[in-house]
Structure 1
Amino acid sequence: MDSIRSLSDPRIQAFLSSRRNDRIYHPSPSNWEDQVLYFLLPDRFSDGNERGYHSSSSQFESTSQTPLFQPSDAGNAVRNPQDEALWQEAGVRFAGGTITGMRTKLGYLKRLGIGAIWVGPIFKQVAGLETYHGYGVQDFLNIDPRFGTREDLRELVREAHEMGIYVLLDIILNHAGNVWEYQGGAKEYTGEEFPVEGFFDAQRVPNIDMDPDAVAAHLSAYPDGAVWPSELQSKNCFTRKGSIRSDGWDEYPQCVDGDFFDLKDINLGQHQLEGFAPTPALLALVEVYQFWMAYADVDGFRIDTVKHMGDGPTRYFATRIHEFAQSLGKDNFILIGEILGDRVFETVETTGIDAALGVGGIQEQLWKLPRGLVSPKGYFGMFTNSAYMNRGAHAWFRDTIVCMVDDHDQVWNPSQKSRYCCGDGKKTILAAEAMNLCTVGIPCIYYGSEQCFDGTGSDDRYIREAMFGGGFGAFRSRDRHFFNEEFAVYRAIAEIAEIRKTELALRRGRQYLRKISRDGAAFGYPVKYPRGPMRSVVAWSRIFDDVEILCAINTDGDSEQSAWVRVNGGSKPPGVTFEPLYPKGKASLTVEKKAAGAAVQVMVPPGGFCMYKSRQRELTSRDGRKSSRRSRYFCC
């Protein structure tokens, strides 16, 4: 299917027509909150040349080139100023990851407990620019050749499905890459339309008129000039109002009509819902992504920069995509929106997308709480203080928020980009990822977190290290890979994810922050005081039907912490216990009567996590026979 330039191509239309029903598509999961997501940037994940890892079939790979990272390899890329400069420069260029490389690591992800992969953008980028992250699209119908081919994507999805892993694609509607130039150079938003010079050709000269006929007549327009498909080649497909000013990211309509830096804003139509009519550009993009659904059999989309699209275009797109997905037999095809600002939940409900990416406030709390830098009521309050939505306190968030500790942007911390494990974060990374896995929402792990990547620096490159090493490996290394399944944090996440898979309460249960006490007498919620970090047990319960699972982390990375924790016990029978789920080998907890009610005493290792479940009790029925069921002593 090479050289597809238009949506009118019969090969595209074959997938958009009724003939798509001749194929049996992979069904959606019944509930997305049952899955653990894993987000990766294709350029930074794997090139398939690693040695010393286990394949999808658990075979040990010993013939490839790149060896497994050892602690002594840290800093091997920065041993002198010249090498350090090369390592830093490598961070802003394509590193060499591929779709085939992803395929070779499906076993690694499966054994980690991953149920769905969120793949960063893989579409063809603007030639001559180092948009390795994938968000500068020039051709929406083709895969960037540095990543692979359409068939490579199709094979990745097929193999993932065979292993029980869903695949989500990161897609862009708001903008194209830097594919054309304004007359006189870059412009800032003023509210007016600016004249344009033309599309760039393959040599980055803006000499192609913004008209499909002019593009078709230009010999060097395809594949590396203009924008594709041809349905996007009219100048009216773009707003042409200049880039969003530094003070305008939350200013309407600038934040919707302006260019995202030098990425060119696509004209999707009016922003309001009433009377919305899609533009030709939006209609084209709907068909583009319907094609990828039908061709590759993917299971969902993460939609970039939803905040900058407007509610009208977002709802139109969501409706068309959901209807098309149902025609393929994908009744729960998920649309996850990147939504920043104060309209997150309103946007989800208004537009019909399924979930919001929990960046910003939620991510900041997940990052700071396990370090003891904030009080826990900040994080847990985000899931309980929802009266304004007239919703049940926690149920609505269960499958509408995707939560993650780290990501590739870290928008809440623009002045200093840092992964969680930077500094002393390694001491509490288990606590952070355990919170992510065992609190409300759809958990997502950012690639490398399971290997304690600790990137930190002045821009995004430092939190986008290459898992396969190359010239920009983690820990300031090069030519070493990090697919180490014996690494302690990898193994801990895998064990917790497996428990999550078997325990419905951890996936769908109600959630309650628990009061604690040092002495068993005075109970209260842990509080971060100004004088320093909070060194404390933080405990919460997940309750589903008659099951309670008690979870606790320790924000002290250096010392074990003990606390009495309030649990449910309104009609507590004598001797009720909580049995250990994680880590294995811990003693059971016996519920005791305290002044504040029923409580158990937990001991949590430095920076650690523990989890207990209320045990089954044998009850005697009226006919004298014993039946096994859970003790109904809950009062919430």
Structure 2
Amino acid sequence: MKKLSSIFIFSLLSLTMSCNDKKEAQSVAPKNNNLMEEHNDINRVEPPNWWVGLKNTELQILVKHPNISEATPEVSYQGVTLKEVHKADSPNYLFIDLHIAPDTKAGKFNITFKQDNKADLMHTYEFKSRKKPSEDYIGFNSSDVIYLITPDRFANGNTSNDINENLLEKTIDRSDDYARHGGDIKGITNHLDYISDLGFTAIWPCPLLTNDMPQGSYHGYAMTDFYEIDPRFGTLEAYKELASKSAEKGMKLVMDQVANHCGVEHWWMRDLPFKDWVNHQSSYEGTVDNNYKKTIITSHRRTTNQDIYASEIDKNAMSQGWFVSAMPDLNQKNPFMANYTVQNSIWWIETAELGGIRQDTYPYPDKDFMSRWAGDIMHEYPNFSIVGEEWTSNPLLIGYWQRGANNRDGYHSNLKSPMDFAMQEKIVQAFNEDETWDEGLVKIYEGLANDFHYPTPKDIMVFPDNHDMSRIFTQLNGDIVNTKMALSYLLALPRIPQIYYGTEILMNDFDKPGDHGFIRSDFPGGWDGDKINAFTGEGLTEAQKDMQLYLKKILNYRKNSKAIHEGKTIHFAPQNGIYVLFRVLEDETVIHVINKNQSSMLLELGRFSEIGLKGRAVKNIISGHQFFWGDNMTLKEKGNVILTTKLK
């Protein structure tokens, strides 16, 4: 990761706002169907609600209220047992352990907080019925292609929420790459047809939770409330609508989450529950005058997670340091923080019926906790998917984090999908470096050969670029042919592909290569008055329209290609500047040919006889041209050819 993070507290029960702290959340309780009198005396309760029927029958509730530790909570609801009450170091917190019997019914009940010589406090809590069983939460897989979006820069669907006077950053300035531009959830929802028609089957918006930081809040990675949608992006209902409307179009919603850190303006930073709630807490003074800059920053030495020679001091410097000075490092070794983080992920899965989680900065938290976190989620939702970000070009490190790895230290990650930064780098090198044809192509040939190290290669996520690196068109120096070859090859691999918004129209960062704010530029047509509209094609160049159509044809073929989703992969070592890869399943064969030669080349097909295509009809996925696989094939120019035996 190269960003910040913040999360959401939207209570379906009502939580009143503290008059002396604007960051205390307010939530609105649903109407009481059984006419029970509802009480909302407590400032904050998290999770704000829960569900009956989960496999894990234990729930730990965080309660935040002035001097609440002096109170004694009581619960009276059939099937619910109050097991234990934990006081924190701060007198303003309690943690309540509940056991929920398997036959507990959905409904509301009051938690009473008895106080000596004071009136009792009460809070109405709700257990909801689940919308579907755990097995029906289907995650992303190799049949999907994920569209990554920076929400603030995609489309502004609701201008009324652009500025929120209750939050620290109060301006909209589209001329400033690091300011908020006004894109929101409604903007994504309004253009789901565009995304679906292109052929994408899942969307991954960067974090949408409240990021109440004084500047740079647009990217969302410095979360200041783990249970609240940032009001500048919309509401919880808008997020749930995005999920439901995506599902209607056959697309999954992947949520970007951060277990490693929060933003320094998170509501709990002014009153931390425990002395070890965040790492290096003693060096943080809890004020708004930049004293947090005295904190210790992580060493970023991620190999300490695997290094058999690593010292304890180096391991701690990596996992306990703050990612940056404005992002407190959460201490997952604190059992209450650990429970809080797991429950928060489950709360969002159930609330929005998610189709996956992308976990930011995966190697930075305590790795034993991350194993527990992923394991708890996958135990509850066995068909779900999680992808973790490990920014490395070393396949050994990528493989270490994947579920099923035979690690020397015995570590079991429970993580289905690490990210394939190694292949991304090889793809760029293969098409970019000024070298002999075969030497360049051998980079991706041997890069794919590293799949022997991965437990399940098809579950790894591959991508040409993302929100933290120069766009692929920039990385390939504005070469359209090389960009097409890179994208088509990536989409033919045994992987889960992710494409960044705007790749389909050759968005680039030539003017400011690698600049994060510029990489995340506005998608043309997402704002009223834009002279160029990529959603409709108005104002696009012929090259942009061609790339858009090119990706659309590949993605829509891939959507229904069992050979690409699940098929056997066979590739042949590059020769004479040509590299050929096959994906085969039953009677469907997909052939991907890369030709780096500038002039016409005759490709002799006898070398590929083991595939068994001689005499079979094949079709060009892009042009639609059909012919019979014979003794040779003419490659007229530099570029790629994608063929299929599936003619209809």
Opposite residue 457 of structure 2, the aligned amino acid is F
C-alpha separation in 2, matches of 1:163 and 1:470 = 20
2:447 equivalent to 1:382: yes
Classify 1:179/1:13 alpha carbon distance in 2 versus 1 (closer, same or farther; 3 Å).
farther
Alpha-carbon offset, residue 386 of structure 1: 4.6
Classify 1:444/1:177 alpha carbon distance in 2 versus 1 (closer, same or farther; 3 Å).
same
Classify 1:480/1:198 alpha carbon distance in 2 versus 1 (closer, same or farther; 3 Å).
farther
Opposite residue 430 of structure 1, the aligned amino acid is K
C-alpha separation in 2, matches of 1:247 and 1:117 = 31
Classify 1:406/1:9 alpha carbon distance in 2 versus 1 (closer, same or farther; 3 Å).
closer
Alpha-carbon offset, residue 583 of structure 1: 2.3
Contact 2:429-2:443 at 8 Å conserved across structures: no
Question: Per-residue CA shift, 1:201-232, capped at 9, x if unaligned?
Answer: xxx4479xxxxxxxxxxxxxxxxxxxxxxxxx
Alpha-carbon offset, residue 29 of structure 1: 4.2
Q: Gaps (5+ residues) in structure 1?
A: 51-85, 184-191, 208-237, 270-277, 326-330, 411-416, 516-523, 527-535, 593-599, 617-636
Aligned to 1:115: 201
Superposed, 1:503-518 pairs within 5 Å as 503-515=561-573
2:641 equivalent to 1:588: no
SS of the equivalent of 1:553 reads strand
2:458 equivalent to 1:398: yes
Aligned to 1:634: none
Aligned to 1:264: 328
Opposite residue 381 of structure 1, the aligned amino acid is E
C-alpha separation in 2, matches of 1:265 and 1:40 = 26
Alpha-carbon offset, residue 8 of structure 1: 4.1
2:554 equivalent to 1:496: yes
Question: Per-residue CA shift, 1:262-313, capped at 9, x if unaligned?
Answer: 21110012xxxxxxxx621121111112111111111110000011123201
- Greater relative CO (CA pairs within 8 A, separation 6+): 1
Contact 2:567-2:585 at 8 Å conserved across structures: yes
C-alpha separation in 1, matches of 2:417 and 2:549 = 29
SS of the equivalent of 1:265 reads coil
SS of the equivalent of 1:253 reads helix
Mean alpha-carbon deviation: is it higher for 40-49 or for 368-377?
368-377
Mean alpha-carbon deviation: is it higher for 138-147 or for 241-250?
241-250
Q: Quick one: which of 477, 486, 493 aligns to 1:432?
A: 486
TM-score, reference length from structure 1: 0.68
C-alpha separation in 1, matches of 2:340 and 2:129 = 22
Classify 1:159/1:368 alpha carbon distance in 2 versus 1 (closer, same or farther; 3 Å).
same
Aligned to 1:211: none
Contact 1:182-1:198 at 8 Å conserved across structures: no
Opposite residue 439 of structure 1, the aligned amino acid is L
Contact 1:25-1:297 at 8 Å conserved across structures: no
SS of the equivalent of 1:505 reads helix
SS of the equivalent of 1:281 reads helix
Q: Quick one: which of 25, 33, 38 aligns to 2:147?
A: 38
Alpha-carbon offset, residue 135 of structure 1: 0.5
2:43 equivalent to 1:11: no
Identity in percent: 20
Question: Per-residue CA shift, 1:445-499, capped at 9, x if unaligned?
Answer: 111001110113252122111114689x9xxx97644324582212211111222
SS of the equivalent of 2:559 reads helix
Superposed, 1:414-433 pairs within 5 Å as 417-421=470-474, 423-433=477-487
Aligned to 1:601: 633
Classify 1:25/1:450 alpha carbon distance in 2 versus 1 (closer, same or farther; 3 Å).
farther
Give the superposed CA RMSD: 3.6
Contact 2:363-2:390 at 8 Å conserved across structures: yes
Aligned to 2:388: 337
Superposed, 1:90-101 pairs within 5 Å as 90-101=176-187
C-alpha separation in 2, matches of 1:252 and 1:564 = 54
Contact 2:139-2:384 at 8 Å conserved across structures: no
Contact 1:182-1:196 at 8 Å conserved across structures: no
C-alpha separation in 2, matches of 1:571 and 1:354 = 31
Contact 2:427-2:443 at 8 Å conserved across structures: no
C-alpha separation in 2, matches of 1:398 and 1:338 = 16
Aligned to 1:199: 286
Question: Per-residue CA shift, 1:539-597, capped at 9, x if unaligned?
Answer: 211122454321113446x7665533555424969x523411422343414332xxxxx
C-alpha separation in 2, matches of 1:255 and 1:197 = 18
Contact 2:173-2:181 at 8 Å conserved across structures: no
Contact 2:149-2:204 at 8 Å conserved across structures: yes
Superposed, 1:48-87 pairs within 5 Å as 48=157
SS of the equivalent of 1:33 reads coil
Opposite residue 613 of structure 1, the aligned amino acid is T
Q: Gaps (5+ residues) in structure 2?
A: 1-9, 12-25, 28-42, 60-99, 107-127, 160-171, 271-278, 305-313, 404-411
Q: Quick one: which of 582, 585, 589 aligns to 1:548?
A: 589
C-alpha separation in 1, matches of 2:634 and 2:592 = 10
C-alpha separation in 1, matches of 2:611 and 2:498 = 37
2:414 equivalent to 1:352: yes
2:609 equivalent to 1:569: yes
